């Protein structure tokens, strides 16, 4: 074994904040790649290592949830996903091989632009992210494997760092033969004793461990991974088959006396079949079972489930087996310097397609916190621990997937006929079911973080409803831009000037301040005061806090942390006195844009009445969750928002980079 020279922490070559890598990312799966891309777009230098030599050809995940599409949009990377993926909008239900019903996958259309699941294999998702990263000049260090890591503590946060030993095989690769063919089993890979390696010690300010369910980082740091491994096993096949079963959406085959079978469309005419295969036998080794499973045997099992429909395999690209683990790392934050993300932090059944999506959101939640820390804009000891707000989200994903899995595995006439009843009624009474409908959960549109250092309740006298509390995902809705030429045009949601509120939230490192002005702009006096507050605070905040890196998100000022948008309630130019609004529009305060909340629905989604009162102000965090909200849009409300920023932001100007 060859060891490359490396400096010890106590040597004269000890790293200093200026010669140290800001962030090491371990694992080039979708989560590691997304984290690398986000940090790079936030102007933070990263190194990303991956033990394999390319993106994994095995696509475990096959779909992107609405929330993942939203965050891709905020991050400016959505286009290739929409180009390559296929929106899936329905679930087909079969009783054995007999078609029974189809049910639309419902989102709440006004609340997201993406009312569907986007089917795109994990391989393609990873390749898009890898290519986007390469366009920004960052190449994945393929073939490098993390061996060990520790946090070297030296009294203060700023002088503490992460020391990581990595190696690369000088011949062959880092993987044991066949290791990747069976998925979903948690164990450590075996050391390959007969290989030669070169090793390197990397010192970094922070590390993000995205090294998958078997995470070496998690093992090395002794972070427990409690949960359970289910006794049941699943076989999974990808390939081309001739079948008369409908596969234009997710297809569920239910039998009264056999576990469920699922079919999913993949790209280029291929499909995925997942077969629940009962429980493990005493002493059974799933890797062995999978190795011995022939394509003919799998085909016979599938035919048995779909009879009297047909199923003939033509080509096979992957046949594997897995047991479901439901586990969550005890903590995602280690000494405020190492962060677990993706499968390294949580794993569960693929049912409901939550795994990769949860991981992508981990990455989004963490990136701006690390970037702001390195920019010297926040106190790391107070802001980095808030990444723990992802832990309950992982618990929620485990719960959602576990509930779906349980339904799929339940055998018996009772459960079968319940499913038949549900699927036959659902298309007709969907609105009644909407309340009980799990789709917004699966689509991850109901995420809400706990109150913490960055999610602070305002001084409201009345407790806002759950949906309007801080920590909630910033919701969406239709608005239209108003300017002096369109002020008198009648408002309509179909107007070509109308668009979704989320378009205002595009970007990565900005706070979006949404001023819900309700009727305040009807009065010229109030409109004038609001314009004055807006100008005053915007210039005060810009003077105090700027982002010294380049915020590569398409806005005119790449160093500006604050983007303020004003939304007025609905107005009718024919019946309303628009003098205040005209004055406000003409004044072009702040960014100079005013938007009409055409049906007052967006006000309502944030807990304000768009038709009376003076609305409120909402601070949307850079990852599009509500950080702060206050009632009213005049002096006192602005002072409160100012207090919020003064509490969570410090100095700035790239201090820790």
Binding site for ligand FAD (CB under 6 A): 26-32, 49-52, 56, 60-63, 122, 145-146, 183-184, 210-212, 216, 236, 322, 342-343, 350, 353-357, 359
Name the residue nearer to ligand FAD (CB basis): 94 or 235: 235
Other beta carbons less than 10 A from residue 455's beta carbon = 23
The nearest distance, CB 324 to ligand FAD, in angstroms, is 9
Q: How many CB atoms lie within 10 A of CB 378?
A: 24
Name 263's bridge partners: 251, 273
CB of 126 to ligand FAD, least distance (A): 8
Q: How far is the CB of 458 from ligand FAD (least distance, A)?
A: 34
How far, CA to CA in Å, does 487 sit from each of 481, 491, 499, 521, 588?
9, 9, 16, 13, 13
> 62 or 405, CB closer to ligand FAD?
62
Which residues neighbour 158 within 8 Å (Cβ) at sequence distance 6 or greater?
17, 656
Q: At what angle do helices 391-409 and 355-374 cross, to 10 degrees?
A: 180
Minimum gap (Å) between residue 339 Cβ and ligand FAD: 12
Tell me how far apart the alpha carbons of residues 330 and 345 are, in angstroms, rounded to a whole number: 8
The rounded distance, in Å, linking the Cα atoms of 269 and 248 is 11
Q: Which two tokens stand for residue 164?
A: 């990581």
Residue with smaller CB distance to ligand FAD, 172 or 592: 172
Nearer to ligand FAD, 342 or 507 (CB): 342
In the complex with ligand FAD, the residue whose CB is nearer, 26 or 245, is 26
Tell how far CA 656 is from the center of its chain: 27
Specify the residue, 147 or 650, whose C-beta has the smaller distance to ligand FAD: 147
Name the residue nearer to ligand FAD (CB basis): 105 or 236.
236
Minimum CB separation of residue 102 from ligand FAD in Å reads 20
Q: Least distance to ligand FAD from the beta carbon of 428, Å? A: 28
Query: Within 10 Å of residue 569's Cβ, how many Cβ atoms?
Result: 26
Cα–Cα distance measured from residue 489 to residue 468, given in angstroms and rounded to the nearest whole number: 31
Shortest Å distance, C-beta 209 to ligand FAD: 9
**Nearer Cβ to ligand FAD, position 212 or 471?**
212
Q: Between residues 227 and 651, which has the closer beta carbon with respect to ligand FAD? A: 227
Report the nearest approach of ligand FAD to the CB of residue 144 (Å). Answer: 6
Joined together, the tokens standing for residue 566 give 């004003």
CB of 460 to ligand FAD, least distance (A): 36
- 287, containing H or E segment: helix 286-292
Cβ at position 444, least distance to ligand FAD in Å: 9
CB of 141 to ligand FAD, least distance (A): 9
- C-alpha–C-alpha distance, residues 510 and 496, integer Å: 27
3-state percent breakdown (helix, strand, coil) of the chain, nearest 5: 30, 25, 40
Instruction: Compute the chain's Rg from CA coordinates.
Output: 26
Q: How far is CA 95 from CA 102, 308, 312, 407, 421, in A?
A: 12, 10, 19, 15, 11
In the bound state with ligand FAD, the residue whose beta carbon lies nearer, of 216 and 409, is: 216
CB nearer to ligand FAD: give 61 or 447: 61
Angle in degrees, 0-180, between the axes of helices 30-41 and 122-135, rounded to the nearest 10: 30
Give the residue carrying structure tokens 């089917």.
Answer: 119
Query: 379: Cβ–Cβ under 8 A, 6 or more apart, which residues?
Result: 650
CB of 200 to ligand FAD, least distance (A): 12
What is the CB neighbour count within 10 angstroms for residue 504?
22
Q: Which of 279, 274, 302 is nearest to 289 (CA)?
A: 279
For ligand FAD, which is the closer residue by CB, 353 or 610? 353
* Category of 181 on φ-ψ map: left (φ > 0), alpha (ψ -120 to 50) or beta: alpha
Annotate 473-485 with b (16+ C-beta within 10 A) or e (fewer).
bbbbbbbbbbeee
Residue positions counted in the chain: 657
């Amino acid at each position: 074994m060859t060891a490359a020279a490396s400096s010890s922490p106590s040597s004269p070559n000890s790293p200093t904040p200026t010669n140290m890598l800001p962030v090491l990312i371990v694992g080039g799966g979708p989560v590691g790649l997304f984290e690398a891309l986000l940090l790079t777009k936030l102007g933070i230098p990263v190194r990303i290592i991956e033990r394999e030599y390319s993106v994994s050809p095995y696509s475990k995940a096959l779909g992107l949830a609405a929330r993942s599409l939203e965050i891709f949009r905020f991050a400016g990377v959505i286009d290739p996903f929409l180009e390559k993926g296929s929106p899936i909008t329905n679930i087909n239900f079969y009783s054995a091989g007999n078609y029974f019903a189809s049910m639309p996958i419902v989102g709440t259309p006004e609340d997201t632009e993406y009312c569907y699941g986007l089917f795109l294999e994990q391989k393609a998702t990873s390749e898009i992210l890898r290519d986007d990263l390469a366009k920004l000049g960052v190449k994945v260090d393929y073939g490098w494997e993390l061996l060990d890591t520790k946090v070297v503590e030296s009294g203060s946060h700023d002088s503490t760092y992460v020391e990581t030993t990595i190696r690369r095989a000088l011949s062959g690769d880092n993987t044991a033969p066949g290791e990747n063919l069976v998925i979903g089993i948690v164990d450590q890979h075996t050391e390959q004793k007969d290989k030669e390696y070169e090793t390197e010690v990397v010192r970094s300010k922070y590390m993000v461990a995205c090294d998958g369910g078997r995470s070496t980082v998690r093992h090395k740091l002794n972070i427990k991974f409690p949960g359970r491994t289910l006794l049941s096993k699943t076989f999974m096949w990808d390939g081309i088959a001739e079948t008369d079963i409908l596969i234009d959406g997710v297809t569920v085959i239910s039998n009264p006396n056999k576990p469920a079978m699922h079919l999913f469309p993949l790209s280029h005419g291929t499909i995925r079949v997942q077969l629940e295969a009962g429980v493990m036998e005493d002493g059974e080794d799933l890797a062995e079972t999978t190795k011995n499973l022939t394509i003919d045997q799998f085909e016979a099992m599938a035919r048995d489930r779909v009879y009297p429909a047909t199923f003939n395999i033509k080509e096979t690209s992957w046949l594997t087996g897995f047991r479901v683990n439901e586990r969550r790392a005890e903590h995602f934050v280690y000494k405020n310097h190492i962060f677990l993300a993706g499968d390294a932090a949580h794993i569960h059944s693929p049912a409901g397609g939550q795994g990769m999506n949860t991981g992508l959101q981990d990455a989004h939640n963490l990136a701006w916190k690390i970037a702001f820390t390195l920019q010297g804009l926040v106190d790391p000891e107070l802001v980095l621990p808030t990444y723990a707000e992802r832990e309950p989200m992982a618990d929620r994903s485990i719960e959602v997937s576990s509930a779906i899995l349980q339904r799929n595995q339940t055998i018996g006439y009772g459960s079968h006929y319940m499913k038949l009843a549900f699927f036959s009624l659902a298309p007709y009474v969907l609105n009644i079911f909407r309340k009980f409908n799990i789709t917004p959960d699966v689509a991850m549109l109901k995420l809400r973080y706990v109150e913490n250092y960055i999610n602070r309740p305002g001084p409201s006298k009345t407790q806002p409803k759950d949906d309007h509390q801080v920590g909630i995902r910033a919701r969406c809705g239709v608005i239209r831009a108003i300017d002096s030429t369109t002020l008198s045009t009648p408002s309509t949601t179909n107007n070509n000037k109308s668009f979704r509120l989320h378009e205002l939230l595009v970007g990565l490192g900005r706070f979006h301040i949404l001023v819900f002005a309700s009727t305040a702009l009807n009065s010229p006096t109030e409109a004038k005061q609001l314009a004055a507050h807006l100008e005053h605070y915007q210039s005060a905040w810009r003077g105090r806090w700027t982002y010294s890196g380049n915020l590569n998100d398409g806005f005119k000022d790449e160093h500006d942390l604050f983007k303020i948008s004003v939304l007025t309630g609905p107005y009718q130019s024919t019946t309303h006195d628009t003098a205040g609004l005209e004055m406000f529009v003409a004044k072009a305060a702040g960014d100079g844009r005013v938007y009409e909340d055409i049906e007052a629905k967006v006000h309502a989604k944030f807990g304000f009445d768009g038709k009376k009162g003076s609305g409120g102000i909402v601070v949307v965090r850079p990852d599009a969750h509500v950080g702060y909200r206050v009632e009213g849009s005049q002096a006192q409300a602005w002072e409160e928002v100012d207090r919020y920023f003064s509490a969570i932001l410090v100095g700035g100007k790239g201090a820790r980079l």
